[in-house]
Amino acid sequence: MQSKQQIEAQVRQWLTENWDPESNLVEWRSMLAQSGWGAANWPEEYFGKGLSAEMSTAIEDVFAEFGAVGTAQTGVRMLAAVTLLEHGNHEQKRQYLKRILTGEDHWCQLFSEPGSGSDLAGATTRADLDGDEWIINGQKVWNTSAHHANYGLLIARSDWDEAKHKGLSYFIIDMHQPGVEVRQLRQMNGHASFNEVFFTDARVPRENIISTPGNGWNVAMTTLAYERRSFDRSRDNKRSKQKGRIFVELKKELDISNEPYTWYPQRAGRVDLIMQRAEETGAINDPVQRQDIARLHILSESAKWTAQRAKAAQKAGKPQGPEGSLGKLAASEVGRLAARVHTTMSVNDALLTGPDSVRDGVIAEILVSVPAGSIAGGTDEIQRNIVAERVLGLPKETRFDEGPFRNVQRNSAAKDSGK
């Protein structure tokens, strides 16, 4: 095995020979994919080097040193990547992984339905095999960036006589076909990053199933586990000031990829702005507010260190402790408290969104975005159930949804808006 220094030296040499800010973005990323340096922790067979996560981080640092553009490992396309790496067959991996790294494809996650959100396995979108094609009918909802996507990760019911979790299959669906209709939904924060997706006799070639019919739930667990671990991976909003053709192209690509996510930092609570705002507003001199600011600092630092502790254990190859399952819940707490502290510090100004607002309305956007964090990617309640049942080993809820799915009681209240 090679040492870290040796690998870093190889990357440096490779970048010295190849990195050129004037290159074409997709060509450069293709080259990265071929070389394996763009996804070093992926298997060698599939555009990686088969190295550990730790090595891969070290390699990213060398890229940063050079100011070199890396592969497009962001957003929903990463959910596709991890799922394919674990469950895809050889052809699928060869076909899709490279274009994920080059950023040529945009993906979306087609899991939630009007009738099944927390109870994801209750999906009722149908997949019926007809010769060499699966015919898809039904509706999905809350699908982030489906309006940009050319591929979707779809779970649908292929067998109604099996028990709930056993009748699902997992597909790659081409979003650009006549049977797929995408409608954007507006959120309470004014953005429209998620969608409703309707399928009417949409088609999926038989070979586009991931794993086997009926094994969709297992595959979905891989996607979800990654999603729930990566909720806090800050999307890189820093805009490179470097010059070169590739950076112009990168900016264009990021403008599309990041469009649904511009409010995500606000959704996390913008802890980074707390101390600046505390000074600006004078809240730092208010004995009551100081206590809340301090409490938030304790919470967010502890949450960060918990994530680091979990990561360190993972890198060292130790079995995961409870700390690894708590990140998403901790993030919800941080977000909620940060929203409260921010809006308390700004008092009336927290309401403003127009030209008279503080920092372009960012405080108001925090307030109206934070509530998404404890819903998206599995609600806090579902996270607590997971922690209670899988981590603490507590007795499971009595089930009301066993037996053939056909007979399980369900209803969709999702269309009812409540009042």
Ligand X SMILES: Cc1cc2nc3c(=O)[nH]c(=O)nc-3n(C[C@H](O)[C@H](O)[C@H](O)COP(=O)(O)OP(=O)(O)OC[C@H]3O[C@@H](n4cnc5c(N)ncnc54)[C@H](O)[C@@H]3O)c2cc1C
Supply the minimum distance, in Å, between the C-beta of residue 63 and ligand X.
28
Candidate segments 286-294, 295-303, 305-313, 378-386, binder of ligand X by CB under 6 A: 378-386
Q: Which of 86, 379, 386, 391 binds ligand X (CB under 6 A)?
A: 379
* Sign of the dihedral defined by the CA atoms of residues 344, 350, 356, 362, in that order: positive
d(CA 119, CA 133): 27
Widest Cα–Cα separation across the chain: 72
Select from 78, 80, 310, 372 the one that contacts ligand X (CB under 6 A).
372
What is the sign, positive or negative, of the torsion defined by CA atoms of 67, 71, 76, 81? negative
Cβ closest to ligand X, residue 221 vs residue 284: 221
Which pair of structure tokens corresponds to residue 295? Answer: 């409490």
Q: Which of ligand X, another protein, none sits in contact with 190, Cβ below 5 to 8 A by type?
A: another protein
First to last CA, the chain: 63
Q: Could you tell me which of 170, 167, 64, 56 has the C-alpha nearest to residue 111? A: 170
Cα–Cα dist 139/360, whole Å: 37
- Residue 329 binds ligand X (CB under 6 A): no
Residue 5 interacts, among another protein, ligand X, none and using kind-specific CB cut-offs from 5 to 8 Å, with none
Residue 198 bridge partners (DSSP) = 139, 181
Name the one range near ligand X by CB under 6 A: 292-300, 317-325, 342-350, 380-388.
380-388
Q: What is the nearest approach in angstroms of ligand X to the Cβ of residue 155?
A: 9
Parallel, antiparallel, or unpaired for β 151-157 and 194-205? unpaired
Select from another protein, ligand X, none the partner in contact with residue 144, using the beta carbon and a kind-dependent cut-off of 5 to 8 Å. Answer: ligand X
Confirm or reject binding of residue 224 to ligand X (CB under 6 A): no
Residue 416 contact, options another protein, ligand X, none, Cβ 5-8 Å cut-off depending on partner type: another protein
Nearest distance from residue 159's CB to another protein, in Å?
Answer: 18
Altogether, the residues listed in the chain come to a count of: 419
For the bound state, the minimum distance from the C-beta of residue 399 to another protein, rounded and expressed in Å, comes to 7
**143 forms part of the interface with ligand X (CB under 6 A):** yes
Structure tokens at 332: 């919800």
Q: Which does 206 bind (CB under 5 to 8 A by kind): another protein, ligand X, none?
A: none
Number of residues that bind ligand X (CB under 6 A): 18
CA angle 90, 75, 311 (to 5 degrees): 85
DSSP state of 396: P
Please report, as ranges, the residues that interact with ligand X according to CB under 6 A: 109, 111-112, 117-118, 142-144, 194, 372, 375-379, 381-382, 385
